[in-house]
Amino acid sequence: MRQDDPVHIARPETFISIDVETAGPNPEEYSLLSIGACVVDDPDMAFYVELKPVSEAVDAEAIAVSGLSIERLSVEGVEPAEAMRRFDEWIADATPPGRTPVFTAFNAPFDWMFVDTYFRRHLGRNPFGHSALDIKAYYMGLAGSSWADTSMRVLSPLYLDGRDLSHNALGDARDQAEMFRRMRGTARRGSE
C-alpha cells in the first residue's frame, strides 16, 4: 500500500481528558456517578454531569473518595441515558469537523470501562470507538519508568506542582489534561 492511501492518512486528533467517580470498582455491579471531561488543549471547554445510580451496590471506599451522596444522586442525578446523550453531544461539539476524539485518562482502563459500558448500554455506541490513551502508560514509555513509578505520588510533583487530585471528576479531568500537556511538551523537547 502507498503512504498516501486514504486508509493510512491519520486524521488530526482532539485529546479529551476524562475522569469518572463511581460507586465501586466495575460497571456491571456499581453505578457511574459523575463524569468530568475537558479538551486537553483547551481545559475551559469542559463537561460535567452527575448521574442517577442504577444499582444499590456501594463500595464504601469509593464513596468516601468521591464524597458523592448516593441518596442525593438518587433524587437529583441525571438519568443515565440522558447523561450519556449530553456527553455525546458535548464530545461532538468539542471535536472540530475532520478530527478524531481521543479518550485520554489517568488509569484509562478504569474510566474507560465505565464510560464505554454506559455509552453502549444507553446509546448503542461509543463516540470514542474502541480505544483509549492511558496517561500512566504514556509516562512509562516517555520516562522508561516502572509501572510503580506512574503513581500520582510520583507524577504530581513532576507535573502538577505537587498538588493532589480533588476527586471531583471535572477538577481531576483538568488536572490530568495539564499533566498530559506537560508530558507531551517533555516528549517534544526530547525528540528535537
CB 51 within 8 A of CB 31: yes
How many other CB atoms sit within 10 Å of the CB of residue 117?
15
Cα dihedral 43/18/137/97 (nearest 10): -70
73: number of Cβ within 10 Å:
18
Helix (H, G, I), strand (E, B) or coil at 136: helix
Is 122 annotated as catalytic? no
- Take residue 176 and report the three cell numbers written for it: 490530568
Within 8 A by CB and 6+ apart from 129, the residues are none
The single residue of 8, 122, 130, 167 carrying the catalytic annotation is 167
Q: Which of 109, 76, 93, 99 is nearest to 37 (CA)?
A: 93
Residues whose CB is less than 8 angstroms from the CB of residue 121 and which lie 6 or more positions away in sequence, other chains included: 80
Evaluate whether 77 touches 53 at the Cβ level (below 8 Å). yes
Catalytic residues, by residue number, are 167
